[in-house]
Structure 1
């Protein structure tokens, strides 16, 4: 009997980090052949050309999908999505995988899912059932769920939501969040090692900041980021590491604002295109505080025993630990949230925080199910009515 051909798509640096141990597990299995499809931000020099890191990690890339345009307007994103569908369709025709693994809710993932669905290739979706009410990602995520055959959710609440969408309970698995596996498995760096690796003059204490566009409120993104920067000015004793925002609608505007801010504060702030998972999680564990609107502040930070100030509506609807403090995206609220989160009341709780996204081993569970599960054609899906 031939090995199961498992295709995995990655289009962003963060997504690749979450998929890393899944890729390792498939590669190591004697019952599966990995087909790695790489595209999007990985192939863009603007975002660090992170395909180099994938190859450095020892993975053989089956296909590189060139589709990301330099424009981040709604029209530009839609054109990139169309190119991604065409690129994925051609890759599937060449490689004929038995199943396609897709993580998350970005537009690239939607494109890959559409191409796989039309090619009648079963889709295994990771991180379905979640809510982010201020993003188009919410609609994208649920759309991918309806196109998928296997579902790997990060909590039991999310598992129930996928079933509520009509998916068969026997094909929906609560495995936890793969990102936590990295915290448990990677040899995280000490401060001097991290500073040397990043080639920056980093001292303690510092904040780790990631701020992405809010796709349904794109016209407010610049204003909200400036409010965050104004609040950070009130904590001059803290250095700040900024990571690039994603290639979402109008994301390049935010990059220019961050570049200007960093140039005005060259000794205190650092703006990095891509840190890679090891350095990013090392910085998270060493940081005094995680700020912004990235899911990593909600999913991974609690397992690093670091508090998060979650700003605005981008992650609205997600389950979160007690170490995550929500605030609205104005200067006063952000300032007060930082003050509160740095207080002894919150800091003393961190050692006992329970992460609702599990304790790790999600990747092993996903790989095991991918290899063992009998796959049917997507056209044979039957709607499960919870009533």
Structure 2
């Protein structure tokens, strides 16, 4: 097969877009070798955030398959619609390879369509596992099934590689590349960063950054965490809390009710990725239920308290950069108190080695794809 190679990159969430963006950027610098074909398929609830992210990344989709049904319980209908639409897109785009990332329904749908079209499938961030199909749901099964259909596995860590080998995926098709999330971190940090929110907070205050956006967090778990975070702020006068509020009517109302009316709690709109990373870099610690933040924060040397019971990024826990606290108020309060008051523990977490790579994952992945396609 001769270059330029048509690579179809498919995504439907902000996190997927950010992890494929370094690959798109690298492809654009070599038009004689690569022709990226960009397909987005956001759920209705994700459209605003994804559009903001695409604008920030300066990425214009070639195909936009916006979903109109974002209701809870519509996962089967969403997958069915994606399969139909992606089948038409693959027919129209005529790619040489499909490239998917992570664990969203987009990756599963694209992998199924690619399989039926006899197209090679590359899976970025392959091999992540909790080995509990219900946690996180439905992400764990999405990524396992995607790996069953993939032809090239771009494992971010040696643990991810070992998971794939234990499942009897072919060793010659598995590559440890690092995580493309770290590529984005390296490109996004600014020494001279200013923002309206930082200008409101005295320089000697310690910043806690909260992110909470997973669907299973909405409702009572989120209410408990919000109350806990308010208690932490009220009992620590040298602490400010920043929370980019998830764009969901119930979450907005709950955040305003529980976290509002406190001068040291700042409810802000979702940030573009560069602003978020630079704000995280200036925070004392991060409390989150996010997967991507578990990868980014160690590169920033910021301790993470994880609002989940399990993680598919166990490397960061074992390395000491992430501590699992779940959503239990006592566990959260104790962990925050320790980090705010025990300098030794704080330094250990902040100095933990980043297990997710050196910021060169995209270049490695493209070299592997180029070699693979040149031999077909």
Give the TM-score category using the shorter length.
0.7 to 0.9
Measure, in 1, the Cα distance between the counterparts of 2:50 and 2:221.
28
Q: Answer whether contact 1:258 1:271 (CA < 8 A) is retained.
A: no
- 1:176 is matched with 178
User: Which of 1 and 2 has higher RCO (CA within 8 Å, sep 6+)?
Assistant: 1
Q: Answer whether contact 2:12 2:50 (CA < 8 A) is retained.
A: no
Measure, in 1, the Cα distance between the counterparts of 2:228 and 2:17.
31
How far is the alpha carbon of 1:45 from its aligned partner? 7.3
- 2:294 is matched with 298
The correspondence for 1:80, drawn from 65, 74, 78, is 78
How far is the alpha carbon of 1:281 from its aligned partner? 0.9
Moved more, 31-40 or 8-17: 8-17
Measure, in 2, the Cα distance between the counterparts of 1:311 and 1:210.
9
Measure, in 1, the Cα distance between the counterparts of 2:320 and 2:173.
31
Q: Answer whether contact 2:298 2:353 (CA < 8 A) is retained.
A: yes
Q: Answer whether contact 1:11 1:40 (CA < 8 A) is retained.
A: yes
- 1:210 is matched with 211
Q: Decide whether aligned partners of structure 1 residues 89 and 314 sit closer, same or farther in structure 2, where only a CA change above 3 A counts.
A: farther
- 2:255 is matched with 258
Q: Decide whether aligned partners of structure 1 residues 329 and 56 sit closer, same or farther in structure 2, where only a CA change above 3 A counts.
A: closer
Q: Answer whether contact 2:10 2:99 (CA < 8 A) is retained.
A: yes
Q: Answer whether contact 1:309 1:325 (CA < 8 A) is retained.
A: yes
Q: Decide whether aligned partners of structure 1 residues 176 and 189 sit closer, same or farther in structure 2, where only a CA change above 3 A counts.
A: same
Paired positions, count: 361
Q: Answer whether contact 1:7 1:36 (CA < 8 A) is retained.
A: yes
User: SS state of the match for residue 291, structure 1?
Assistant: strand
- 2:224 is matched with 227
Measure, in 2, the Cα distance between the counterparts of 1:375 and 1:146.
24
Measure, in 2, the Cα distance between the counterparts of 1:165 and 1:306.
33
Q: Answer whether contact 1:67 1:87 (CA < 8 A) is retained.
A: no
How far is the alpha carbon of 1:263 from its aligned partner? 4.2
TM-score (norm 1): 0.84
How far is the alpha carbon of 1:361 from its aligned partner? 0.7
1:270 equivalenced with 2:267 (yes/no):
yes
- 2:364 is matched with 365
Q: Answer whether contact 2:227 2:258 (CA < 8 A) is retained.
A: no
- 2:161 is matched with 159
Measure, in 1, the Cα distance between the counterparts of 2:375 and 2:253.
47
The correspondence for 2:306, drawn from 307, 310, 332, is 310
1:242 equivalenced with 2:243 (yes/no):
yes
Q: Decide whether aligned partners of structure 1 residues 9 and 258 sit closer, same or farther in structure 2, where only a CA change above 3 A counts.
A: farther
1:286 equivalenced with 2:285 (yes/no):
no
* Gap regions ≥5 residues in structure 2: none
Q: Answer whether contact 1:69 1:77 (CA < 8 A) is retained.
A: no
RMSD of aligned residue pairs (Cα, Å): 2.7
How far is the alpha carbon of 1:252 from its aligned partner? 6.5
TM-score (norm 2): 0.86
Q: Answer whether contact 2:310 2:324 (CA < 8 A) is retained.
A: no
* Gap regions ≥5 residues in structure 1: 378-387
- 1:66 is matched with 66
How far is the alpha carbon of 1:256 from its aligned partner? 4.5
